[in-house]
Amino acid sequence: MTAVENPTPQQESNTYRPSPAQRFAPFVTAAVVPFILGATTGDMNFWWKALITVVVLAVVARLAWKWTPRGELTHREDMRLWRTPSDRSWAAATTFGLLVLPFILASDFTPPMDFPWATWFAVVNLVLIFAMGAAAFNLLVGYSGQISLAHVAFLALGSIVGGIVGVQWSGGNMWLALPAAAVAGAVVGAISGLPALRLKHLYLLLATFGFHFVMMLVWREYLQEYFGFVGIRFKGENSPRIASWLHWLPGIDPDQNGEFVITGQFRWYWVLMPITVLSILFMVNVVRTREGRAFAAVRDRDVSASLLGINVARSKLFAFALSSAIVSMSGVLASFYIGSRGEDSFNVQTVLNYAIIIVVGGFSSIQGAIFGSAFFWFLPEWFKWAREELWFVRDIDFLSDYPSEIDLAIKGFLVVIILMFKPDGLAGLWRDFKNWLGRSLARNKP
């Protein structure tokens, strides 16, 4: 750590410490510039926006790279979330990208070859919701090793809590429903995790699957009792709103009747993006704490973990509660975003979809959940576009005759191929790409 332990003087000169202002400057730039762009360039051409975005992305990433502490790190610096220059520059660039994305997506733009720009905003919002749910699923199944198929049960729980607290009690108050769903999800999740104390692997999978069917019964009973077969309406008069005492916030200008209703893709993005990013950051940080390391220890060998002084039962239940709380919250968000939930909204196929997402994205990696859900939702869009517009695909009648079936087949084949040849999925590919980039950019080639 200090020069006393390390007698060679040139090591000392290898250590670089940016000032705090320098350290945070890239992130501040990344956070501020999009809003200046968005506020001042309403009538600007799409291509200008894209160009400015790319330039600022590069600048922000470069600054973050330049002003990262390097050389000999203190323990605290070594334990940071974004440790290396590359981590920091990707983080800054992602921050900028997430903030500028809605302005680009909302711009009036006709892409070449009718690329499906207009539908992308909806897909991006769905990706955000699914990424949150899939990351929590991955935390439980991949990272903590507690195999659970009760995922959709908690989405349904989120819809039930959203229905009771958000619709029946308060007529569209999503802000009340979200914490309520988190609490309910944590409690019910811990209860559903009880079999994990006795069962493992296969048998745990089957037990949680039983919980799925019990929850589906509760969901149907609740629906029939209060809403009948039409299902719950989360839109219209039940849409979430921004409370009137928050209307002074920048960017919020109320409608004629003095309300600010969250509707339309642009407004939803600003609700979903922060919640998703915060919950994913939360999970990434949990993994780095003592509790999170205990999850991994219990996954690898629970008997050894208990010998190390880890309370295995507590750790397992905590993993279940945490994951279920976040999944329930994503269930509330999905209900309010999609706008209605009926009897057929939840089925076994939805569990399989989440499984596909985490396999394609990368098993036991939270990053993989994001890649996976993006891939899951963009694949049908790309495929649809290719079927309609690409000249060498358009003429194959077979593809346009069975669009959704081929979509399904592609997903199935992908799962099989990825599990056979690239078990760490898209997240693994991304890691390989970064390694390759690092190697080719390095001054002294290893």
- The residues binding other proteins (CB under 8 A) are 141, 147, 195, 198-199, 201-203, 205-207, 209-210, 213-214, 216-217, 220-221, 301, 303-304, 348, 352, 355-356, 359, 363, 402, 405-406, 408-409, 411-416, 419-420, 423
Separation of alpha carbons 297 and 310, rounded Å: 9
Extract the tokens encoding 333.
């968000």
- Of 58 and 416, which CB lies nearer to other proteins in the complex structure? 416
What minimum distance in Å lies between the beta carbon of 360 and other proteins? 10
- Of 245 and 398, which CB lies nearer to other proteins in the complex structure? 398
CA distances from 30 to 39, 60, 64 (A): 15, 6, 10
Residues 220-247 as b or e (16 or more Cβ within 10 Å = b) = eebbeeebeeebbbbbeebbbbbeeeee
**Cα torsion 87, 287, 429, 72: sign:** positive
- Of 268 and 363, which CB lies nearer to other proteins in the complex structure? 363
Separation of alpha carbons 43 and 393, rounded Å: 36
* Sequence-separated (6 or more) residues with CB below 8 Å from residue 65: 85, 86, 88, 89
- Of 145 and 240, which CB lies nearer to other proteins in the complex structure? 145
- Of 330 and 364, which CB lies nearer to other proteins in the complex structure? 364
- Of 221 and 259, which CB lies nearer to other proteins in the complex structure? 221
Q: Decide if 29 contacts 59 (C-beta within 8 A).
A: yes
* Beta-bridge partner residues of 272: none
Separation of alpha carbons 163 and 170, rounded Å: 10
Q: Decide if 99 contacts 30 (C-beta within 8 A).
A: yes
| Residue 169: strand, helix, or coil | helix
* Sequence-separated (6 or more) residues with CB below 8 Å from residue 139: 283, 286, 287, 295, 319, 322, 323, 326, 366
- Of 137 and 318, which CB lies nearer to other proteins in the complex structure? 137
What minimum distance in Å lies between the beta carbon of 355 and other proteins? 6
Separation of alpha carbons 109 and 48, rounded Å: 12
64: buried, middle or exposed (CB in 10 Å: 19+, 13-18, 0-12)? Answer: buried
What minimum distance in Å lies between the beta carbon of 363 and other proteins? 7
What minimum distance in Å lies between the beta carbon of 147 and other proteins? 6
- Of 332 and 357, which CB lies nearer to other proteins in the complex structure? 357
- Of 87 and 407, which CB lies nearer to other proteins in the complex structure? 407
What minimum distance in Å lies between the beta carbon of 197 and other proteins? 10
| Residue 343: strand, helix, or coil | helix
> Cα-atom radius of gyration of the chain, to the nearest Å?
24
Cα of 2 vs its chain's centroid, Å? 40
